[in-house]
Structure 1
Amino acid sequence: MRGYPVGTIAFYGPDNQRASKVAVSVIPQEGAEPKLHRWFSEAGDVRTDKTILVEIAAYLRQHSVRSVAMADGILGCPHEEGIDYPMGESCPRCPYWKGRDRFTGELDQG
């Protein structure tokens, strides 16, 4: 931790292989609301899209980010509960994630 502003980077995808969305937030100071920006790729992987990666770096520089935290994998479905599908349900477009823990990718035991 090198101090604030802090940037966070999280990847989302239809399965655990392709990231179709990246969400980047900047937290300007402790307790502040994050500023969120999202990038999407319909067919490719945002982790290897050079244009998106350059834009992410520019976004973090624009906000003078001093520290960055990033998950090491894909954190679940790119669609948003309550926006893209009803609250409490699984995403109908991403069957891979149904019944899976978004952090481990393991199927729930229940």
Structure 2
Amino acid sequence: MQRPRHRWRGRDAGAGRAYPVATVAFYGPDDTRATKVSVGIVAHEGADVDPVERWFCKATDARIDPEVTEAIVRFIDQHGAKSVVAVDRIIGCPHEEGIDYPEGEKCTQCSFWANRDRWSGEIIQ
């Protein structure tokens, strides 16, 4: 039996991406453990991501948690995504600017990301 995470990853159609597209991004307090995953659906080219669903893990890593993985698969299937775009690493703090901390400020709970580029992981000044 194929693991659920592999089921959604196998939908990546590369340059010939088919819509709807599911986007998958992982977040964590540092780059070693994902405590949040966000999955959104893009219905067609140029469309906003909608709907978006988020799952949180306090004790496990969201990238390997079987319940979270199965929920991702169900969400993607429910919305008829034909392809999936996913980042291959944790891309930032799980807290949301303007919701969990003030706009334009740095998260006080995740010092790892305070001076770090979330895409490259490199420290910036």
Partners of 1:86 and 1:43 lie apart in 2 by 27
CA–CA distance in 1 between the matches of 2:18 and 2:63? 25
Instruction: Report the equivalent of 1:18.
Output: 33
Deviation at 1:32, TM superposition (A): 2.1
Cα offset for 1:97?
0.6
Output the amino acid matched with 1:97.
Answer: W
- Residue in structure 2 matching 1:57, options 73, 94, 98: 73
1:68 match: 84
CA RMSD of aligned residues (A): 0.9
Q: 1:7 aligns with which of 3, 22, 26?
A: 22
After TM superposition, the structure 1 = structure 2 runs for residues 1-110 of structure 1, keeping only pairs within 5 Å, are 1-34=16-49, 35-108=51-124, 110=125
SS at match of 1:47: coil
Q: Where has structure 1 moved over 6 Å in runs of 4 or more?
A: none
Give, in whole Å, the separation in 2 of the partners of 1:20 and 1:72. 15
Q: TM-score normalised to the size of structure 2?
A: 0.84
Give the CA deviation at 1:2.
Answer: 3.8
TM-score of the superposition, structure 1-length normalised?
Answer: 0.94
Q: CA deviation at 1:87?
A: 1.2
Q: Percent identity?
A: 50
Matched position secondary structure for 2:23:
strand
Query: Gapped runs of 5+ residues in structure 1?
Result: none
